[in-house]
Homo-oligomer: A and B are copies of this chain.
């Protein structure tokens, strides 16, 4: 059987060959193919690398093929590798399919040895250049190929400069460098036990193998785990004739973008450094010139470069990021790729490219992401402003907030009402902090992760939040906290928190305002002026035109619902009713729990019914004409009572000190009765509804009477009642009877026509696995992917982040939190099973998703693939979800 070719000339490939040639190799080939000046060379395939990694030895044919291509290269360049008179020098660079910046190895100047260095000096008339090049080769080769310790070379360089009394490399002349080469070669021999190889072929082979090996360096492995890059791809190796930008004033190196990567503005953008190599531009040792300045220095090269950049942008149909070198007036392109850009630039460039007729609207939509939109929608600290970092926590909810520190929710409300912006600082928050969080500009906690109460609620409200800033010692009594370096921040001191980075600053940091996306009667409009706004507006319209899925919001109050509608929600996908049992109503719920007879319980239900009904009237009014999914009470009852341990301590201390504790003891008995060792797996959801007859019935009546009231006065309420935590159809059937009865009574009582749907959360694995049965009794399914993730993985959101979770992410056992991005293989499979089998039973079954994943871009794409009818997310994520739901129609899942 014919062996596959392991080496390809640049002339033989194209940009489509990234699998085989890696990203860099494919783009070099593409430029070569376009006739753009690229230093000639060849690429060793990823397949060769994989063969080496699998077998542990270089494929037999590899070096023969390299030799053939090298001979052709020498022929073409008219010089021979390492020739004593006029040596050809080559670079050896890694280049995998996916960019892994800085993770793998490069060796430059291969071909130099004690003889050819003199030839290079003679040919270039620049002995310093020649010896500096040789010095660099020995150093790179020692570190990379021979795996010697880098600091040995750096120390020797420092010594040489110290001996000479200079501070920069340029202070060393040719003789100094010649001496340094001798010292470097001695280090190589001392540390590796063998002299630096003088044979250019040996150098080349060693460098190739070193690049192969670097695929499996620990940092590369970790990087791939974190970025979710497959471990078995291998890297290509590019061998290319060296071009030198450091051969005098008519030489130089630069990097450039075909448009401004920061703002997206039209016009080339870049840096140039005369008499320098590429790494010098990046290293920042000398001040670079603007690309425009090149015109004055070398008009011919400048014009040629601009022409090439225009061709590349037209060819790649996107902004390109390039590296180039000018060697004695001759322009060489060293690299090109599609350029990275900021969120702002992404939107502007995409729309400009439509207007220029380069790409279609559908393509433009693929050039922006929901994450970029989210960045634009939240305020940022001005990057130019000064700041003093005092702690770092987790980036729990984006935005930039400035205010005075307060340590309890009542104080937050008091100050905020008096017009002072506040940052609410707590160890952790709980449902009773809701009013404080509403009042605050931002929330800072010292405990809990991205899915802690503070984080989830703050995201839901669009409130900036940094959580789990563990270095803060919060002293609630003293109303202050202490940072790791001992700084004390007292109540009333000003703080700034960055919800996108998790940073906490003392004092005020200047804020740049955000983009505001608004929808009004089906029309999107983005507030604030300028070209960015027009671009976002344009692409949002494109997304809305393309998308199939509806986007709803999670909202628990009339106010939330109205805001959600402004953000473009097409209904409410999850209205939680537990918040309606908090605050002043907590006392009523406490009486319910302590009630001993059915009559006592019914009396409490009778008291709650009108309160709940009024809540729902507000919500249906705000969502007039749009569907509203209300979830019946889900959490365990003990959440409405004091904490078991706290109360136990209180009672025991009272008893030990002879104080009265009759009331507390009575409460403790109830708390103890309801105490569960794993409340997440206990008496909640439909189980609670079936165990406490009257509860769900009361809620159903409140919802349906509210809907009837709204309809009676000419509105259009569309209630969808959702039963939580259903595991078997029998549970749903039992509750459905109560709901349908309540609907009938509400219709009769108010003499109105009213549709109502009854459905269930699919949040237990069993619900998904038996969805075909459950669909018999359901009008709709809503995947509760938070709980479904908890049950499928068997870890709870509350507990994981404080223990093993961060370690799992660090070690790459998880590449992202399954609570943020849907776990396609496990949880996603249950979503697929549930959707398919539910619809097989009932083709008209409406299927949606509520919970955090509804607003996550990658997850939205997954739900589109699975054919869900809608996603539901927090109001502030609605524009993001709309954009992504549109993008999901035109991008492939990995995009």
Contact = CB atoms under 8 A, between A and B. Distances in A.
A307 B811 CA distance: 80
Contacts of A794: 680-681, 725, 727, 763-766, 787, 791
A838 to B, nearest CB: 14
A527 to B, nearest CB: 42
Contacts of A690: 804, 807-808, 811, 813
A693 to B, nearest CB: 10
A156 interface: no
Size category of the binding interface on chain A: 35 or more
Contacts of A813: 690, 728, 730-731, 734
B803 A683 contact: yes
A3 interface: no
Contact of A770 (B645, B652, B770, B826): B826
Contacts of A679: 677-678, 799
A276 to B, nearest CB: 44
A773 interface: yes
A504 to B, nearest CB: 24
A34 to B, nearest CB: 42
Nearest to A649: B652
A183 interface: no
Given A691-B807, A766-B792, A773-B825, 7 more contacts: A653-B653, A678-B681, A678-B796, A681-B799, A688-B804, A766-B825, A769-B825
A648 B799 CA distance: 20
A84 to B, nearest CB: 51
Given A679-B677, A679-B678, A681-B678, A770 B825 contact: yes
B652 A826 contact: no
Contacts of A787: 794
Contacts of A826: 727-728, 765-766, 769-770
Interface in A788-842: 790-796, 798-800, 803-804, 807-808, 811-814, 823, 825-827, 829-830
A801 B800 CA distance: 26
A829 B837 CA distance: 14
B649 A790 contact: no
Contact of A677 (B727, B793, B796, B807): B796
Nearest to A674: B803
A796 B681 contact: yes
A302 interface: no
Nearest to A692: B804
B798 A769 contact: no
A478 interface: no
A451 to B, nearest CB: 13
Contacts of A770: 825-826
A764 B792 contact: yes
A687 interface: yes
B764 A804 contact: no
A644 interface: yes
Nearest to A772: B825
A681 B795 contact: yes
A84 B681 CA distance: 70
B799 A676 contact: yes
Interface in A219-243: none
Contacts of A248: none
A738 to B, nearest CB: 14
A800 B812 CA distance: 36
Contacts of A766: 792-794, 823, 825-827
A590 B830 CA distance: 40
A340 to B, nearest CB: 29
Interface in A642-676: 644-645, 648-649, 652-653, 656-657, 676
Contacts of A734: 811, 813
Contacts of A798: 676-678
Nearest to A644: B645
Interface of A: 644-645, 648-649, 652-653, 656-657, 676-683, 687-688, 690-691, 725, 727-728, 730-731, 734, 763-766, 769-770, 773, 787, 790-796, 798-800, 803-804, 807-808, 811-814, 823, 825-827, 829-830
A250 to B, nearest CB: 54
Contacts of A691: 803-804, 807
A326 to B, nearest CB: 48
Nearest to A813: B730
A570 to B, nearest CB: 30
14 contacts: A644-B645, A676-B799, A677-B796, A680-B794, A682-B799, A682-B800, A687-B808, A688-B804, A690-B807, A690-B811, A731-B813, A765-B791, A766-B826, A770-B825
A823 B766 CA distance: 10
Task: List the 3 closest pairs (A to B, CB-CB), nearest first.
Answer: A766-B826, A681-B796, A765-B765
Contacts of A687: 795, 803-804, 808
Contact of A765 (B648, B796, B803, B830): B830
A814 to B, nearest CB: 8
A796 B652 contact: no
- Among A656, A678, A725, A813, find the residue whose CB has the most chain B CB atoms closer than 10 A: A678
A598 to B, nearest CB: 15
Nearest to A794: B764
Contacts of A657: 656-657
Nearest to A691: B804
Nearest to A647: B645
B682 A796 contact: yes
A438 to B, nearest CB: 25
A159 B250 CA distance: 130
B680 A681 contact: yes
A683 B799 contact: yes
A792 B791 CA distance: 7
B682 A803 contact: yes
A446 B630 CA distance: 40
Contacts of A645: 644-645, 648
Contact of A769 (B652, B799, B812, B830): B830
Contacts of A796: 676-678, 681-682
Contacts of A808: 687, 690
Nearest to A773: B825
A55 to B, nearest CB: 21
Nearest to A687: B804
Contacts of A653: 652-653, 656
A787 B681 CA distance: 12
Contacts of A728: 813-814, 826
A799 B687 CA distance: 12
A726 to B, nearest CB: 10
A787 to B, nearest CB: 7
Nearest to A800: B682
A351 to B, nearest CB: 41
A764 B827 CA distance: 11
A827 B765 CA distance: 9
Contacts of A823: 766
A656 B656 CA distance: 8
